[in-house]
């Protein structure tokens, strides 16, 4: 019974499909919805601006309801942001936040990519180092930050270390997986044209692995931002962490939000810059669709 | 084995000298015996095809000749010299093209020369010549993902030609190319074989392709692989491609090989 009705419906759909075909064909190329879709695909920046605009609009509405006494509107936050920028406190804050961040990310980047490449190329190095980083990556780093203060105090060293602890594992593990998964066919190609081991590594394996290595660097950079903010909130309030803590303590919620938004902004822009650098320098083919 | 199976080396070696000699090659992957006592000569300046049922170790044999895979025993000689690894007298064309996606057609074609340390201007002028030869002029600055499968393999072929090796090893070069492009490519390959005067060793699983392009076809048996038969298609290569494909000798050879291979197919 079931089978026969299924068979019937299949016959029916087969019968109707020639009718549906042209109808759909009339709609699709000239359809209004698709026209809008085409606008979006041809102007990706417009879409991003629109998406951000919508988000800010919802934020503004949510702030005006208001959903909480401590939740400022978008415009208030924007105002607070520009006043923080103008009185120089934001710039001063970044001056001290960026120190451990830049040092920590630079060390993590260089050591992490280097270690990742070595681990990817050598099984011995993999056995020696990989377990440590796998454990580190899954450990809740925030819980280890008090431990750092215990050993290294509350200075730049401790904060840099916090950044490294968060940024390094993901960079190392991505780098190592990228190298290990480099296209074996390309390596064989290089070998067949008598490429030396060094040429194999520099001309084939590393360029082939670079997208994943860079994905690791981007994740590491993002983790580095988390690390520096955690350190500034948990160790001693300095820089942007101080700005957040201070304005929270005096109930300047708009300023507090402005500081939080500014760190998101800086982090996003840095990540975008890193991506642009990667495409420009290492993978030129991605520039073209 | 069918009655039509000829003994090993039934074809008299009257072609002159051999560019590549394969002597008692055996290959084991763990406990699996892939190749058993393969003895073969590849005549200079000819296109020899290795043909056999899938998984019979044709590609393994080709990679052993290339020096990319170590045989368990036996040896390969190129121009009388034993092979210990890849060498400048051999160039490989890969089934999956093995093009560097981050490099332009120009850099990909010149890559073999780049590895040898040749200067940029010199290697690019050589590469430009072979890019033209495979019919890709105007695509020098494109990236592989901007090309069709057939065009990508033309890049792979140009790269192999550019290093000016005497022996070209082609591992199922057309298997990832669509049918229509493959036919065109086969026709172009015949012209290049004619023009370049190199020794070609070609692996394929397509009987028609083997008969169409080869001077000599080596049929390998199922694993453990041995030389089952050697066939020299008697086809007039000066005829047009369409005439060749309708030629009675061509059709008979295809049929003969199919009869020989049929019993390996489940």
- Specify whether B131 is located in the same domain as B182: no
Q: Is residue B32 included in any domain, yes or no? A: yes
pLDDT band at A17 (very low <50, low <70, confident <90, very high): very low
Query: How many structural domains comprise chain B?
Result: 2
Can you tell me the ipTM of this complex?
0.86
Q: Is residue B10 included in any domain, yes or no? A: no
How many interface pairs between A and B have CB atoms less than 8 angstroms apart? 62
Per-residue pLDDT tens over the stretch A29-46: 444 555 666 666 777 788
pTM for the model stands at 0.79
Cross-chain Cβ contact A193/B91 below 8 Å: yes
Instruction: Rank A54-58, A147-151, B10-14, B258-262 by mean pLDDT and report only the highest.
Output: A54-58
Q: Is residue B94 included in any domain, yes or no? A: no
Is residue A130 less than 8 Å (CB to CB) from chain B?
no
Cross-chain Cβ contact A207/B114 below 8 Å: no
Per-residue pLDDT tens over the stretch A153-211: 888 899 999 999 999 999 999 999 999 999 999 999 999 999 999 999 999 999 999 88
Q: Is the pLDDT of residue B154 over 50?
A: yes
Range of the domain at B22: 15-89+167-186+197-266
Q: Is the pLDDT of residue A54 over 90?
A: yes
- Specify whether B174 is located in the same domain as B243: yes
Average pLDDT score over residue span A221-246: 89
pLDDT reported for residue B220: 87
Average pLDDT score over residue span B66-90: 90
Average pLDDT score over residue span B227-253: 82
- Specify whether B120 is located in the same domain as B78: no
pLDDT reported for residue B266: 61
- Cβ atoms < 10 Å from Cβ of A32: 8
Among B112, B143, B144, whose Cβ lies nearest the Cβ of A193? Answer: B112
pLDDT reported for residue A30: 44
Give all domains of chain A, ordered by start, each with its CATH number: 2-64 (no CATH), 74-287 (1.10.3720.10)
Residues of B in contact with A210 (CB under 8 A): 102
- Specify whether B21 is located in the same domain as B73: yes
Is residue A289 less than 8 Å (CB to CB) from chain B?
no
């Amino acid at each position: 019974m079931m089978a026969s009705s299924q068979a019937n419906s299949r016959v029916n759909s087969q019968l109707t499909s020639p009718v549906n075909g042209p109808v759909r064909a009339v709609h699709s190329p000239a359809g209004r919805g698709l026209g809008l879709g085409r606008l979006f695909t041809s102007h990706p920046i417009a879409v991003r601006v629109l998406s951000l605009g919508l988000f800010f609009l919802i934020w503004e509405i949510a702030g005006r309801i208001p959903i909480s006494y401590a939740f400022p509107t978008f415009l208030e936050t924007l105002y607070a942001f520009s006043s923080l920028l103008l009185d120089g406190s934001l710039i001063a804050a970044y001056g001290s936040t960026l120190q451990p961040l830049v040092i920590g990310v630079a060390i993590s980047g260089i050591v992490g990519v280097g270690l990742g490449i070595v681990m990817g190329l050598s099984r011995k190095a993999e056995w020696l180092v990989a377990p440590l980083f796998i454990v580190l990556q899954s450990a809740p780093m925030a819980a280890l930050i008090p431990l750092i203060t215990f050993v290294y105090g509350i200075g730049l060293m401790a904060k840099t270390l916090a950044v490294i602890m968060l940024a390094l594992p993901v960079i190392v593990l991505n780098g190592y997986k990228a190298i290990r998964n480099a296209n074996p066919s390309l390596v064989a190609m290089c070998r067949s044209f008598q490429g030396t081991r060094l040429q194999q590594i520099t001309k084939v394996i590393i360029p082939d692995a670079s997208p994943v290595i860079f994905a690791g660097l981007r994740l590491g950079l993002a983790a580095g931002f988390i690390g520096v903010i955690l350190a500034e909130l948990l160790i001693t309030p300095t820089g942007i962490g101080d700005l957040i803590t201070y304005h929270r303590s005096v109930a300047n919620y708009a300023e507090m939000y402005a500081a939080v938004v500014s760190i998101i902004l800086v982090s996003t822009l840095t990540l975008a810059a890193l991506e642009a650098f990667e495409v420009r320098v290492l993978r030129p083919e991605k520039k073209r669709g | 084995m069918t009655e039509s199976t000829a003994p090993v080396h039934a074809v008299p070696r009257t072609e002159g000298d051999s560019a590549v000699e394969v002597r008692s090659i055996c290959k084991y992957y763990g406990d699996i015996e892939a190749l058993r006592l393969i003895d073969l000569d590849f005549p200079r300046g000819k296109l020899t095809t290795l043909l056999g049922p899938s998984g019979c170790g044709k590609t393994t044999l080709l990679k052993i000749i290339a020096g990319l895979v170590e045989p368990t025993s036996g040896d390969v000689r190129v121009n009388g010299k034993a092979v210990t690894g890849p060498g400048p007298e051999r160039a490989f064309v890969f089934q999956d093209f093995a093009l560097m996606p981050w490099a332009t057609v120009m850099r990909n074609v010149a890559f073999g020369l780049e590895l040898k340390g040749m200067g940029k201007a010199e290697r690019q002028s050589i590469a430009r010549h072979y890019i033209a030869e495979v019919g890709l002029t105007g695509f020098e600055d494109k990236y592989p993902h901007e090309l069709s499968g057939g065009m990508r393999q033309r890049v792979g072929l140009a790269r192999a030609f550019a290093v000016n090796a005497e022996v070209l090893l082609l591992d199922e070069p057309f298997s990832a190319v669509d049918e229509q492009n493959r036919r065109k490519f086969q026709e172009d390959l015949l012209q290049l074989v004619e023009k370049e005067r190199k020794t070609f060793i070609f692996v394929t699983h397509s009987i028609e392709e083997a008969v169409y392009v080869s001077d000599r076809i080596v049929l390998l048996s199922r694993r453990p692989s041995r030389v089952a038969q050697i066939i020299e298609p008697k086809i007039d290569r000066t005829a047009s491609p369409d005439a060749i494909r309708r030629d009675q000798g061509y059709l008979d050879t295809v049929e003969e090989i199919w009869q020989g291979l049929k019993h390996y197919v489940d």
